[in-house]
Structure 1
Amino acid sequence: MDYLPIFAKLENRPCLVVGGGEIALRKVNLLLKAGADVTVCAPQFHDQLLEKAEAKQLKTVQHHFTADLLIGKWLVIAATDQKLVNKQVADAANELQLLVNVVDAPQLSSFIMPSIVDRSPIIVAISSGGNAPVLARLIRERLETLLPMHLGRLAAISGEFRHRVKKVIKNVSLRRRYWEKLFANGRLGALLEKGQTDNAIKLMESSLTEDIVSGEVALVGAGPGDPSLLTLKALQLMQQADVVLYDRLVSAEILDLVRRDADLISVGKHAGNHEVTQSRTNEMLVEYARQGKKVVRLKGGDPFIFGRGGEELEELVEAGIAFQVVPGITAASGCSAYAGIPLTHRDFSQSVTFVTGHCKQGGKELNWQALSVSNQTLVVYMGLIQSSEIQTQLLRFGRSKDTPVALINKGTCPDQHVLLGKLSELVQLSAGMQGPTLMIIGEVVNLANKLAWFNPETNQKTSRDPFLVNLN
């Protein structure tokens, strides 16, 4: 982060703008809107600046900049069309340790002016660090269309009601829950949009008596790895969570999207090494929910596809804990798409079957005869350790040794790695693999090279994955 985003309180603070043209006028208008005590220095002034001076909205100093004008100022903006003058202002301000902005010269500035979406008291500031101001402006224009005009009134009336909420709800976490619930259902905003302020206040008052103590659990699918594959609902719940219990398959980039003051607890597991047992994970979900917390159980892929989500829900049902499930893009869908392998195809595969290489101890044996049928796609989750057994059994029950196979390691992530080969080479392919790996077995794998990602920059078909290796 090149700049720390802060909001400065400039009401009645003396600020200086050097420059008297149209650009200076825009900066002056922003400072005046913030309530600053503005002085403008320039040899000549824009007509609107003179009008504001005549209306006692600002002071003017009609001569060239001198360093003594900085005495007593809090903030300085250099907005002239003369580079030497702007640098003189910046040097003098830096010497006095004053915040200074030089228009279109971030290298001379100690602060920069962002693009602003104003829904006062809600303010959204967008900055590119001076690298792409037009891009920042386009983002601001997009946000202007998304954020309703009544948002400011919503914030203002909430601020007026805060003392009442604080008096009734003593617990900080529960107060946050009250506001989240009030804002999330949209009823309050809808009333204010219609101008029904009295009804809005009545709704806020009546909501104080509703049950906000009971906790709840959300089983959330985080997808196969790429943060952009998260669902909107998953992201919303991650932003509201008090506690997040996450698997090792959940990437750091996805965890960065969780609410910053939420407790992050790793309950990851991999073959032969469970950081936290499944039974303990189940217990923790119940414990935190009974404390009145909003708990997110964040799972790689989809929680109901080899994610043991059903087992965790059974525990919640027995404990009487409210819950919801948010599906995620499972690894089979995400990894196959990023590797250019369709799971079904009218010519090569009329069905697809998902199996796991890790079965519960004492569980039923896989139906290898059914899994060995040709013209179907077999997707194996967590199958690396069992690659020898998978290869042996499929060949034993009639699957051709030339059946194409793909191993997709760290699928959908920037370091995705794909190996292509034949069923007879499965053990060889698996030997060098470590970490989360998906197996795809079936004729559709032959389409991986044909359906390579089309790169519009080069106007050519290339592998989306730079580490695609074909061992045939």
Structure 2
Amino acid sequence: MDALQPPLNNGPARMEPLAKLPVFWALEGKRVVVAGATDGAMWKAELLAACGACVDVYAEDHNEAFTTFLGRTPEHPAASITLYRRRWAPGDLEGAALAVGDCEDMAEARAFVAAAGAMGVPVNVIDRPEFCEFQFGSIVNRSPVIVAISTDGAAPILAQTIRRKIETLLPRSLKGWAALAQSLRAPVNRRLEPGPRRRAFWERFADRVFSTMGTPEEGVGGVLLADAERLAEAPAIGRVTLVGAGPGDAELLTLKAVRALQAADVILFDDLVSSDVLELARREAKRMLVGKRGGRESCRQDDINAMMVKLAKAGKRVVRLKSGDPMVFGRAGEEIAHLDRENIPVDVIPGITAASAMASRLGLSLTHRDHAQSLRLVTGHSRHGGLPDDVDWAGVADRRSTTVFYMGGRTAGLIAAKLADEGLPPETPVVIMSDVSRPAERSWRGTLATIPEGIMEIGYDNPVLIAVGDVLAARQTTAGSIVGSDLVAYAG
């Protein structure tokens, strides 16, 4: 295999299926048609006018609120609202950018949609999703920053609740900062070429926005442009960040891990990293599957090391995304040593390791003081696939200690036999779990003597945890789940 060539498997999809494509439509100075003068039609007309559209309203009658609305001068300088006191006609839709109708019945809705279709005009019929080619979402307005939320018409109240939550997260001062960014874009583009330096400038800008929470100070634009000039003169230096993706549930990622994913140029990810985690990455980032799993085609570690060095020396920010925690059986030590030898800056963002996720799902403490005075993390197999020779099996078999075996799914029977040989009682409680924290999570309860039966039931193609020890008896939850373990094995 070429040292810089990833496996052919492309891994999880870059984008999950979308119910609708979110699009922000420029309407300034464009003619749109609104048929009807209900409260719903008035809101749509007001929204369209706020975008600078020339709104033509067709309605035979309208209420007092609509009269008041028509009497107001639109805030947007390019907008206008014109009322035609009659029912809409098919010819009214000619040349319109959009058409919005509040139709009295299904027959009128069908006619409105047919007329719009004949003119090639995108159409929305209020409160009739089946007749809508586009939809209006709930809006958080910090223009030029605009956030729109859609539930595809299924739950408008949910969309409004989401909007209220986002409103509390985005300061009103964001509007001023966004306007400043708009004014800086052209001069920054003149100073910085597309790529890492320009993105670094805007990342610093964004950090400043949310660190101050206040409106931009006078003269801050000049300070920021001076920063852009310094970046333009600085040498392009890439770096590598080892990021822990956790056991699978994207909500278990740290905030720092999410920021690293959203700043990466290239992401080298393991086979066990979930698609939900990858969904949080920057869309433009190149993603390369370099995972290693037992019995499957994979990249050699030397290939991965070479990729990281080449990409970093090209000025790229590389995220090496590992399942669990990169510093727990993730071969991070080898990668860090290689990067150090090449003088590549490297840092590490920890993740939730499999044993911690298992303990959380079972609702138990791995170091419960009534059952275990220590915790051990031990690999379940050697380089050659068998049991490791340098493990202190007598110490592992201590019932007062919690021991966690990783990558031991295929050696589970050997582990059980070894522990029994060292004196661990056959009735010692056992829990086997697979796909911990993922939708496909499964669990099995038994004893040390029945581990072979449990691993046959759970299987070892997916990530497996085997917990053995007295801690498992500390707490018992709903059917199929048990707490307490001194040993956890992760399938390899």
TM-score (norm. length: structure 1): 0.89
Q: How far is the alpha carbon of 1:70 from its aligned partner?
A: 1.5
Q: 8 Å contact 1:340–1:447 — kept in the other structure?
A: no
Is residue 423 of structure 1 aligned with residue 440 of structure 2?
A: no
Residues 183-262 of structure 1: matches in 2 within 5 Å?
A: 183-184=206-207, 186=208, 193-210=214-231, 211=234, 213-262=236-285
Correspondence for 1:284 among 307, 310, 318? 307
Q: 8 Å contact 2:445–2:481 — kept in the other structure?
A: no
Give the percent of matched residue pairs that are identical in Structure 1 and Structure 2: 34
Q: 8 Å contact 1:177–1:212 — kept in the other structure?
A: no
Change (3 A) 1:79 1:272: closer
Is residue 26 of structure 1 aligned with residue 43 of structure 2?
A: yes
Q: 8 Å contact 1:352–1:377 — kept in the other structure?
A: yes
How far apart are the structure 1 equivalents of 2:404 and 2:162?
41
User: Is the partner of 1:15 in helix, strand or coil?
Assistant: strand
User: Is the partner of 2:299 in helix, strand or coil?
Assistant: coil
Q: How far is the alpha carbon of 1:44 from its aligned partner?
A: 1.6
What is the aligned partner in structure 2 of residue 443 from structure 1? 470
Please identify, of 332-341 and 123-132, the stretch whose mean Cα deviation from structure 2 is larger: 332-341
What is the aligned partner in structure 2 of residue 175 from structure 1? 198
Please identify, of 77-86 and 262-271, the stretch whose mean Cα deviation from structure 2 is larger: 77-86
AA of the residue aligned to 2:223: K
What is the aligned partner in structure 1 of residue 124 from structure 2? 101
* Aligned-residue CA RMSD (Å): 2.5
Is residue 36 of structure 1 aligned with residue 53 of structure 2?
A: yes
Please identify, of 278-287 and 110-119, the stretch whose mean Cα deviation from structure 2 is larger: 278-287
Q: How far is the alpha carbon of 1:83 from its aligned partner?
A: 5.2
Q: 8 Å contact 2:191–2:228 — kept in the other structure?
A: no
What is the aligned partner in structure 1 of residue 287 from structure 2? 264
Is residue 123 of structure 1 aligned with residue 146 of structure 2?
A: yes
How far apart are the structure 2 equivalents of 1:153 and 1:194?
6
Change (3 A) 1:52 1:400: closer
Please identify, of 7-16 and 361-370, the stretch whose mean Cα deviation from structure 2 is larger: 361-370
Q: 8 Å contact 2:245–2:324 — kept in the other structure?
A: yes
What is the aligned partner in structure 2 of residue 406 from structure 1? 431
Q: How far is the alpha carbon of 1:110 from its aligned partner?
A: 1.1
User: Is the partner of 2:409 in helix, strand or coil?
Assistant: coil
Q: How far is the alpha carbon of 1:130 from its aligned partner?
A: 0.7
AA of the residue aligned to 2:460: Q
Q: 8 Å contact 1:247–1:298 — kept in the other structure?
A: yes
Change (3 A) 1:155 1:463: farther
AA of the residue aligned to 2:467: I
Q: How far is the alpha carbon of 1:54 from its aligned partner?
A: 5.6
User: Is the partner of 2:465 in helix, strand or coil?
Assistant: strand
Q: 8 Å contact 1:20–1:80 — kept in the other structure?
A: no
User: Is the partner of 2:437 in helix, strand or coil?
Assistant: coil
How far apart are the structure 1 equivalents of 2:224 and 2:27?
35
What is the aligned partner in structure 2 of residue 369 from structure 1? 394
Correspondence for 1:322 among 345, 362, 367? 345
Is residue 391 of structure 1 aligned with residue 416 of structure 2?
A: yes
Q: How far is the alpha carbon of 1:174 from its aligned partner?
A: 3.2
- CA offset digits 1:23-62 (Å, max 9, x no partner): 2221111111111111111112344544565677321111
- CA offset digits 1:244-294 (Å, max 9, x no partner): 111111122222322222111112112355611222222222221111111
Q: How far is the alpha carbon of 1:333 from its aligned partner?
A: 0.9
AA of the residue aligned to 1:383: G
Please identify, of 298-307 and 22-31, the stretch whose mean Cα deviation from structure 2 is larger: 22-31
Q: How far is the alpha carbon of 1:369 from its aligned partner?
A: 1.1
Please identify, of 201-210 and 227-236, the stretch whose mean Cα deviation from structure 2 is larger: 201-210
Q: How far is the alpha carbon of 1:15 from its aligned partner?
A: 0.9
Q: 8 Å contact 2:367–2:374 — kept in the other structure?
A: yes
Q: How far is the alpha carbon of 1:91 from its aligned partner?
A: 3.1
How far apart are the structure 2 equivalents of 1:404 and 1:422?
5
Structure 1 residue ranges without an equivalent (≥5): 453-461, 466-472
Structure 2 residue ranges without an equivalent (≥5): 1-17, 74-79, 483-492
What is the aligned partner in structure 1 of residue 10 from structure 2? none
Q: 8 Å contact 1:116–1:126 — kept in the other structure?
A: yes
Is residue 3 of structure 1 aligned with residue 20 of structure 2?
A: yes
Please identify, of 423-432 and 114-123, the stretch whose mean Cα deviation from structure 2 is larger: 423-432
Correspondence for 1:158 among 181, 184, 187? 181
TM-score (norm. length: structure 2): 0.85
Change (3 A) 1:124 1:407: same
Change (3 A) 1:195 1:265: closer
Correspondence for 2:88 among 60, 65, 69? 65
Please identify, of 138-147 and 42-51, the stretch whose mean Cα deviation from structure 2 is larger: 42-51
How far apart are the structure 1 equivalents of 2:85 and 2:65?
15
How far apart are the structure 2 equivalents of 1:117 and 1:195?
20
Change (3 A) 1:208 1:423: same
How many residue pairs match? The answer is 453
Q: How far is the alpha carbon of 1:77 from its aligned partner?
A: 1.0
